[in-house]
Amino acid sequence: LTVRPGERLAVVGPSGAGKTTLGKLLAGIDAPRSGRVEVGGVPVTSLAPERLRRHIVLVTQEHHVFLGSVRDNLRLAAPDADDARLLAALGA
C-alpha cells in the first residue's frame, strides 16, 4: 500500500477486516510483527510520536458527540478563535 504526499486514505470494510489494526500500524501505535511500515522511507517505529502525528492522523470508530454548533465545538480547543481561524481549521 502506498499513499503519496497530500493523499488521504479512508479504509472501510466489515467488522474484523483489520481496519483498526491497519490504522494503528500506520499511526505507530502498534509495531508490525513482520514486514515494515514506513513514512517517507523511514520506519514508523523509529519516528518520534510528535513528528509522526504531523503526517498521520488516525480517526477511529470511537467518537464523541458534543452539544452545540460546529462553531461551539471548534471553540472548545480555541475559545477566542475568530471565524477565519475556525474556517481554516475545517479545511485542515
pLDDT average, residue stretch 58-75? 79
What are the b/e assignments for 2-40, b being 16+ CB within 10 Å? eeeeeeeeeeeeeeeeebbebbebbbbebeeeeeebebe
Task: Report domain extents, the chain.
Answer: 1-61, 63-92
What are 74-85's pLDDT values in tens digits? 898 889 999 999
Among 58-62, 70-74, 83-87, 88-92, top mean pLDDT goes to 83-87
Per-residue pLDDT, 16? 92
Write the burial class of residue 67 (CB in 10 Å: 0-12 exposed, 13-18 middle, 19+ buried): exposed
Note the pLDDT tens digit of each residue in 6-42: 888 888 889 899 998 998 898 888 989 999 998 888 8
